[in-house]
């Protein structure tokens, strides 16, 4: 079964310094039909103005993945991590028993565009943790590169959840066919560009849910950057 959700159907919040689209219920946006998909709980598509950001705040029992599309985000937490995340890098923060952190666009000009992804962990009460890795564009060109997984395979960051995240870049004649486990869920989020997924044309911000499907087909990309989640039921 394929379920298409267009970008404009997402929740939206305009805070002046922050424009945020919510794929799932978040903060003041609540939609009982979109509370999550398997362990995937949040995809916030955020654009942050220069010199602004999220002050120190707390999280518990959540795997949080940051994927930067443009600009940079500066992260600082109470575990001693102080880092800058740029396009091509993936950050994983395990909130576990509790963590405090801040995120800022420290640039004097130019917005930061990023996806913040929350995934429910396989177990609660984990020790807080942090990981950050970079992935070359060439490794994502015309293919899906594992960037987050439960076992950290292929050099990906480790998420303590029944979820694997792949990222790919597709343009022109580049295409891919990948077998799927039909007992699991697949969620495709198009970060930018245009891409045909299992016959459905997706544009930036669109998403496709796949359930009971045995194959994923990606084709006809137009400067597309895509995230594909393999999720436990």
CATH code for 137-231?
2.60.120.10
pLDDT, tens digit, for every residue of 10-42?
A: 999 999 999 999 999 998 899 899 999 999 999
Q: What H or E segment, with its residue span, contains residue 138?
A: helix 137-140
The CATH superfamily of 10-134 is: Jelly Rolls (2.60.120.10)
Evaluate if residue 85 carries a pLDDT over 90: yes
pLDDT, tens digit, for every residue of 115-152?
A: 999 999 999 999 998 999 999 999 999 999 999 999 99
User: Domains of the chain: which residue ranges?
Assistant: 10-134, 137-231
Residues present in the chain in total: 233
- Terminal-residue alpha carbon distance, the chain: 14
Rounded Cα distance between 207 and 197, Å, is 10
10-134 and 137-231 agree in CATH topology: yes
Residue 62's pLDDT band (cuts 50, 70, 90):
very high
């Amino acid at each position: 079964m394929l379920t298409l959700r267009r970008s404009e159907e997402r929740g939206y919040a305009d805070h002046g310094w922050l424009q945020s689209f919510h794929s799932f219920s978040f903060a003041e946006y609540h939609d009982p039909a979109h509370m999550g998909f398997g362990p995937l709980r949040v995809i916030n598509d955020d654009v942050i103005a220069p010199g602004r950001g999220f002050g120190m705040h707390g999280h518990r029992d959540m795997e949080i993945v940051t994927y930067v599309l443009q600009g940079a985000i500066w992260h600082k937490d109470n575990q001693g991590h102080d880092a800058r995340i740029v396009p091509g890098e993936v950050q994983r923060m395990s909130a576990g028993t509790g963590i405090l952190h801040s995120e800022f666009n420290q640039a004097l000009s130019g917005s930061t565009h990023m996806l913040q992804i929350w995934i429910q962990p396989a177990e609660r009460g984990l020790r807080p943790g942090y990981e950050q890795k970079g992935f070359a564009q060439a490794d994502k060109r015309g293919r899906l590169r594992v960037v987050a997984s439960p076992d950290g395979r292929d050099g990906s960051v480790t998420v303590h959840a029944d979820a694997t995240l792949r990222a790919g870049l597709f343009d022109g004649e580049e295409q891919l066919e990948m077998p799927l486990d039909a007992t699991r869920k697949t969620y495709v989020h198009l970060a930018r560009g245009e891409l045909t997924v299992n016959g459905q044309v997706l544009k930036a911000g669109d998403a496709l849910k796949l359930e009971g499907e045995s194959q994923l087909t990606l084709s006809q990309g137009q400067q597309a950057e895509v995230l594909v989640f393999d999720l436990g039921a």
